[in-house]
């Protein structure tokens, strides 16, 4: 417990008064050897000395005043331009609208052509593979088995193409052809697939014409409802190193385009008859069903026997986002079979969920998905009560497992409620039969005709062919054929899609004129960011969209909630707010002022925002028309000038089209110089704004060297380096040799010291970051430096801007000694050790003479150690102070010197956690006998095909082949996406001087803390701890993996964030024909794939090696 006494304060109650009195007595009482703890006025005097020393060094070497003068002297070389937020937002929104409109035109041409081609196509019952010419994108793909052996490929009639590297697609392509991808679990020789390949071949000409009209087009894709994908231009398929389970019908863009939003309740029969393999099939089926839902959908999952109950903590429909679906998937695994079946309980629960109007939901398609092993009750009374006569809820029933129950009741339930009946006898039927319900939901869309042909833009997701982050414009494609009775066909043919890379959209946004801390962002109707500097997913996962909410990309507050709501509503607006931001290195929190400006991007469901600090309202635009001056300044970029003028790092920006970028700054500078010898800064292939500003800043920083740095002896003040960094992209470090130890980013806009200096007044200290496990280096051979920086503020014609940051790099060892002297009672005339104190003539301790008894430290605003009078602390400089002295850091936090901010990073990547294999599972896999293998008929039997299905999906569901006794850690290690919890500390508004006592019984400690003016430092003096009784809970700052269910999704869903679904809904059409409502599963094998995979299964089973999981697609 810490009792504090702020300066000038008086405690109103007796206990506090007693505490203060005890503190005063302790302060006054002499300690051992005749020394007493320093008085408050003494420590305030030390603080002033420290402030004066820091200010003096920065005034001499920082050169802030001199740099202001240099800018003013060169006023004729640049203009001060203004950023007008509303005009910027309007222009960028218009440019993005125009870009997407071009893609929409191409998309509509493709969709119309596809409908025309399919309508004109004549179905062929006797069509053969050799009759079709196409490029099979997987024909040249190499697949490896778990032991590294190549798996034999099926024979293919695929076209043989040649490919050339293409920078736009980041891969090899062929512009003369389209490519075809067919899922592994679909037999490409079937009549349906061959007819699909036949009529879609005509799309290639449209693909090519689209590209001629718009050469910037990226992937043009038709995803068929049969599973066939035809995409242009042709490129070999990017397959995983295991079995390829990509199916276009499960891609986020296809799901969004194929149906309107859904409210879905999944009910699972867990009665006693559902056991072993059947329960396992049901769990996997639910898992796959959840993957057919997008963020526009809402879902809940319940199990039932005699009673129904939710499988998770969710008591109502929740948004089908990644985090909620993950909760469902985890909890479904815990379902246990027992009791008897009561369909009534399950359906009543489901209808009650769908009738709950007090929650946020999709309010479009409503459906119940029931998984059961069979039963006799039709529960007609339930349907009469809840769903008839309007039948607003569709019912889909799934008969799971191999059994002898009468399935007529299940078929009747589906047919009587506008749904569909499916059979899932084995794992191989799961993926197909859990996604074909989308065909039923697509009927009202098809029947609505042109009204339903609305282009929708997706969330951000990872492109399966390597483009990186993309959004896709989608348009459904309808079957326009009619039967003999002139009735319209009601089947969706598929979805047409055109990709737009996020980088192409980013190129339309301003960057460098907004300054280091200004940026553009965009969000969709869910509040997910389309553009944002913090949108940086760390793992590629093709199966999941990248869904980062605006309030998770930034630190959430009420102002941002209101801005987000206004943007989702399609409004425009502007607001000046005070808010918290994280530093780029995520170690610090700053309280800053920002102007948010926003407006909708017309004809899309996106909204654009601009964030601008007050000091970025104006910016410099260089105008170096004097070519002689251009050449003179350019010479200061040449390495032969570095020894006299200091080393120059240039920001790796795209100054010219032909400039080769490099992560090595020396190499990049060489590339830049080589190009500048061929072109001028005014060349059309170069960005004149970037080049002129770079060259101007080269000259201006060189003048700083001549006027300030060259005339000073850095060693006199124990400085390792001085430096200046500018908005124009120059970082100059003096002397040249100091560049060898320079670890900051060459791009000032990506350097934490640069961005924080702009947002904070005064001198910003930045020690080298050390994590808790850092054990230090040999200080004799390794010099540690501490950066001190400050922004250069200009006022030109009443316009304020901050075009540069200057600073020094302190020598840790030398400044630690200086720190001890400045925080001591010794004057310049005193000699160390000259003072004598004894019990009769006591005197105050200080940080130099009494460093064995007194701890003196400087801690920055993030809680990191900067300087200490303890030599054993030197290797801990840069660590969070709780790692150095947990007891003292806790006292500082408890006395409100620091405030804590916790947040979550939803884009992280982690090593996989060991999985436990619980629930029902097969005890083993059937392995055929030698007699079976020699029998040719066996290879084409249902048993063989079932085994292929089990093996194929066993690769997807890693525990399928494992018995309950198999340990999870035997599985192949693979990085996965995860949530990390971040904790940052920052100064509170308390700015008082504190004397306090840390009450630990007989081991109490005194401490004093005071902020140093015009810096981000806290000066702390404290007794050394005398015994371990003063140990306290260590405050944690390091990023850690969030515990399971943290943040608590169960609580978050009860206060959902504001969102809007799509503006259109097609869930009903009076002319819909619901007579086609159920059938069994059909799964036609591909014999070549079957034979090779079956042999692999035999080998794996015989060797008793656990089968590894498939790569995440």
Tokens of 966: 């198999």
* DSSP three-state, residue 1000: coil
Higher pLDDT, 957 or 633: 633
Grade residue 909 by pLDDT with cuts at 50, 70 and 90.
confident
Alpha carbons 744 and 753: distance in angstroms, whole number: 8
Residue 1025 per-residue DSSP state: P
776 pLDDT more than 90: no
Higher pLDDT, 1002 or 328: 328
Cβ neighbours for 370, distance < 8 A, ≥ 6 positions apart:
266, 267, 268, 269, 343, 346, 347, 350, 395, 396, 397, 398, 410, 413
Q: For position 759, what pLDDT does the model report?
A: 97
Residues 355-384 have a mean pLDDT of 95
- Report pTM: 0.87
Closest by Cα among 554, 559, 557, 555 to 573: 559
Share of the chain above pLDDT 70, in %: 82
Write out pLDDT tens, residues 122-153: 999 999 988 899 999 988 765 545 444 554 55
- E-only strand ranges, 116-162: 135-136
Q: For position 115, what pLDDT does the model report?
A: 96
Vertex 553: Cα angle to 547 and 558 (nearest 5): 115
- Using N-to-C axis directions, what is the helix angle for 277-290 and 322-332, rounded to 10°? 180
Q: For position 24, what pLDDT does the model report?
A: 44
Write out pLDDT tens, residues 714-750: 999 999 999 999 999 999 999 999 999 999 999 999 9
Provide the CA 331 distance to its chain's centre, in angstroms: 25
924 pLDDT more than 80: no
Write out pLDDT tens, residues 274-322: 988 999 999 999 999 999 999 999 999 999 999 999 999 999 999 999 8
Cβ neighbours for 357, distance < 8 A, ≥ 6 positions apart:
none
Residues 559-586 have a mean pLDDT of 97
Alpha carbons 519 and 240: distance in angstroms, whole number: 36
Higher pLDDT, 400 or 928: 400
Q: For position 994, what pLDDT does the model report?
A: 67
Write out pLDDT tens, residues 478-533: 999 987 677 888 999 999 999 999 999 999 999 999 999 999 999 999 999 999 99
954 pLDDT more than 90: no
Beta bridge partners of 533: none
Burial of 664 (0-12, 13-18, 19+ CB in 10 A): exposed
Secondary structure (DSSP) of 710-736: GGS-GGGGTEEEEEEEETTSEEEEESG
The mean of the pLDDT values for the chain is 85
930 pLDDT more than 50: no
Secondary structure (DSSP) of 815-839: HHHHHHHHTSS--TT--TT----BT
- The total of other beta-carbon atoms located within 10 Å of residue 556's CB is 17
Q: For position 131, what pLDDT does the model report?
A: 87
Alpha carbons 367 and 391: distance in angstroms, whole number: 10
949 pLDDT more than 80: no
Grade residue 239 by pLDDT with cuts at 50, 70 and 90.
low
Burial of 797 (0-12, 13-18, 19+ CB in 10 A): exposed
Tokens of 653: 């920006």
Share of the chain above pLDDT 90, in %: 66
Closest by Cα among 1016, 996, 990, 991 to 1008: 996
Vertex 1097: Cα angle to 1095 and 1098 (nearest 5): 65
Residues 449-458 have a mean pLDDT of 92
Write out pLDDT tens, residues 374-394: 888 999 999 999 999 999 999
Residue carrying the six token digits 């009946």 = 421
Write out pLDDT tens, residues 1041-1054: 988 777 888 889 98
Residue environment code for 147-180, b if the CB has 16+ CB neighbours within 10 A, otherwise e: eeeeeeebeeebeebeeeeeeebebebbeebbbb
Write out pLDDT tens, residues 95-126: 999 999 999 999 999 999 999 999 999 999 99
Alpha carbons 113 and 204: distance in angstroms, whole number: 11
Write out pLDDT tens, residues 1067-1105: 999 999 999 998 654 444 444 444 444 444 444 444 433
Grade residue 992 by pLDDT with cuts at 50, 70 and 90.
low
Write out pLDDT tens, residues 249-263: 988 899 989 999 999
Beta bridge partners of 996: 4, 1007
Q: For position 369, what pLDDT does the model report?
A: 98
Alpha carbons 625 and 52: distance in angstroms, whole number: 44
Q: For position 155, what pLDDT does the model report?
A: 56
Residue environment code for 430-441, b if the CB has 16+ CB neighbours within 10 A, otherwise e: bbbbbbbbbbbb
* DSSP three-state, residue 240: coil
């Amino acid at each position: 417990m810490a009792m504090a006494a702020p300066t000038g304060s008086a405690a109103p109650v007796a206990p506090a008064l007693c505490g203060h009195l005890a503190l005063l007595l302790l302060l006054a009482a002499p300690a051992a050897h005749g020394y007493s703890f320093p008085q408050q006025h003494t420590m305030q005097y030390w603080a002033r000395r420290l402030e004066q020393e820091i200010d003096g060094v920065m005034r001499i070497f920082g050169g802030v005043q001199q740099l202001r003068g240099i800018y003013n002297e060169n006023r004729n070389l640049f203009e001060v331009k203004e950023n007008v937020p509303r005009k910027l937002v309007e222009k960028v929104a218009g440019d993005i609208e125009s870009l997407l409109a071009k893609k929409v035109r191409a998309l509509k041409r493709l969709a119309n052509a596809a409908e025309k081609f399919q309508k004109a196509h004549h179905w062929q019952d006797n069509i053969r593979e050799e009759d079709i010419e196409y490029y099979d994108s997987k024909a040249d793909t190499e697949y490896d088995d778990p032991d590294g052996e190549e798996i034999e490929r099926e024979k293919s009639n695929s076209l043989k193409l040649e490919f050339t590297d293409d920078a736009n697609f980041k891969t090899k392509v062929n512009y003369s052809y389209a490519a075809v991808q067919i899922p592994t679990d679909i037999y490409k020789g079937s009549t349906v697939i061959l007819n699909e390949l036949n009529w879609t071949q005509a799309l290639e000409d449209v693909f090519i014409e689209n590209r001629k009209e718009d050469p910037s087009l990226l992937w043009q894709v038709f995803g068929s409802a049969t599973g066939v994908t035809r995409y242009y231009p042709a490129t070999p398929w990017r397959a995983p190193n295991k079995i390829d389970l990509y199916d276009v019908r499960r891609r986020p863009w296809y799901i969004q385009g194929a149906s309107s939003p859904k409210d879905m309740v999944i009910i699972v029969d867990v009665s006693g008859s559902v056991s072993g393999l059947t329960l396992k099939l049901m769990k996997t089926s639910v898992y796959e069903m959840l993957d057919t839902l997008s963020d526009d959908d809402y879902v809940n999952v319940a199990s039932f026997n005699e009673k129904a109950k939710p499988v998770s903590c969710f008591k109502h429909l929740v948004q089908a986002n990644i985090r909620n679906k993950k909760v469902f998937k985890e909890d479904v695994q815990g379902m246990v079979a027992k009791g008897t079946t009561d369909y009534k309980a399950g359906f009543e629960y489901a209808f009650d969920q769908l009738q709950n109007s007090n929650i946020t939901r999709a309010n479009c398609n409503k459906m119940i998905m029931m998984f059961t092993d069979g039963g006799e009750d039709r529960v007609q009374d339930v349907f009469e009560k809840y769903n008839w006569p309007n039948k607003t809820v569709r019912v889909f029933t799934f008969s799971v497992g191999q059994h002898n129950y009468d399935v007529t009741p299940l078929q009747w339930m589906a047919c009587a409620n506008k749904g569909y009946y499916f059979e899932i006898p084995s794992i191989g039927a799961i993926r197909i039969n859990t996604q074909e319900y989308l065909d039923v939901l697509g009927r009202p869309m098809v029947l609505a005709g042109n009204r339903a042909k609305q282009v929708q833009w997706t969330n951000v997701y990872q492109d399966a062919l390597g483009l990186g982050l993309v959004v896709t414009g989608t348009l459904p494609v309808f079957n326009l054929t009619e039967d003999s009775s002139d009735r319209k066909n009601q089947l969706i043919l598929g979805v047409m899609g055109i990709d737009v890379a996020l980088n192409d959209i980013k190129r339309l946004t301003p960057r460098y004129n907004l300054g280091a801390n200004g940026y553009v962002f965009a969000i969709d109707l869910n509040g997910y960011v389309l553009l944002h500097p913090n949108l940086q997913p760390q793992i590629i996962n093709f199966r999941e969209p990248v869904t980062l909410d605006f309030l998770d990309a930034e630190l959430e507050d009420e102002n941002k909630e209101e801005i987000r709501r206004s943007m989702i509503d399609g409004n425009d607006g502007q607001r000046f707010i005070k808010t918290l931001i994280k530093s780029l290195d995520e170690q610090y929190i700053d309280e800053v002022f920002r102007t948010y400006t926003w407006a909708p991007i017309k004809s899309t469901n996106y909204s654009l925002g601009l964030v601008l600090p007050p000091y970025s309202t104006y910016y410099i635009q260089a105008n170096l028309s004097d070519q002689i001056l251009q050449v003179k300044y350019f010479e200061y970029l040449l390495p032969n000038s570095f020894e006299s003028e200091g080393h120059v790092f240039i920001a790796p920006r795209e100054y010219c089209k032909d400039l080769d970028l490099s992560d090595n700054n020396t190499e990049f500078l060489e590339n830049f110089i080589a190009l500048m010898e061929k072109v001028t800064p005014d060349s059309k292939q170069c960005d004149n704004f970037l080049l002129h500003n770079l060259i101007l800043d080269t000259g201006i920083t060189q003048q700083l060297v001549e006027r300030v740095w060259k005339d000073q002896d850095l060693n006199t003040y124990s400085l390792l380096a001085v430096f200046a960094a500018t908005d124009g992209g120059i970082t100059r470090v003096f002397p040249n040799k100091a560049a060898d130890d320079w670890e900051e980013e060459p791009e000032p806009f990506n350097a934490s010291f640069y961005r924080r200096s702009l947002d904070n007044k005064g001198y910003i200290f930045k020690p080298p970051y050390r994590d808790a496990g850092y054990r230090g280096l040999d200080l004799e051979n390794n010099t540690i430096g501490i950066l001190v920086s400050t922004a250069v503020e200009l006022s030109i014609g009443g316009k304020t801007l901050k075009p540069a940051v200057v600073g020094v790099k302190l020598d840790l060892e030398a400044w630690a000694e200086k720190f001890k002297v400045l925080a001591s009672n010794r004057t310049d005339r005193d000699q160390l050790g000259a003072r004598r104190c004894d019990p009769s003539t006591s005197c105050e301790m200080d940080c130099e003479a009494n460093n064995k008894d007194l701890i003196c430290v400087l801690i920055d605003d993030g809680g990191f150690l900067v300087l200490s009078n303890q030599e054993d602390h030197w290797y801990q400089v840069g660590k969070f102070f709780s790692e150095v002295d947990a007891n003292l850091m806790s006292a500082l936090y408890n006395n409100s010197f620091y405030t804590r901010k916790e947040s979550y990073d939803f884009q992280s990547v982690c090593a996989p956690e060991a999985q436990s294999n619980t629930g029902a599972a097969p005890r083993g896999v059937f392995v055929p006998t030698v007699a079976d293998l020699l029998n040719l008929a066996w290879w084409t039997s249902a048993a063989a095909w079932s085994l292929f299905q089990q093996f194929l999906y066993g690769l997807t569901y890693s525990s399928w082949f494992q018995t309950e006794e198999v340990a999870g850690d035997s599985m192949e290690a693979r990085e996965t996406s995860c949530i990390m919890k971040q904790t940052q500390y920052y100064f509170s508004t308390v700015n008082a001087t504190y004397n306090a006592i840390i009450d630990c019984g007989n081991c109490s400690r005194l401490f004093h803390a005071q902020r140093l003016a015009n810096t981000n430092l806290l000066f702390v003096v404290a007794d050394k701890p005398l015994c371990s009784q003063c140990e306290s809970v260590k405050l944690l700052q390091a990023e850690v993996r969030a515990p399971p269910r943290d943040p608590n999704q169960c609580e978050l869903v009860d206060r959902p964030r504001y969102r809007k679904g799509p503006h259109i809904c097609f869930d009903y059409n009076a002319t819909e024909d619901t007579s086609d409502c159920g059938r069994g599963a059909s799964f036609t094998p591909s014999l070549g794939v079957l034979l090779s995979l079956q042999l692999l299964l035999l080998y794996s089973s015989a060797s008793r090696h656990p089968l590894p999981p498939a790569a995440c697609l």
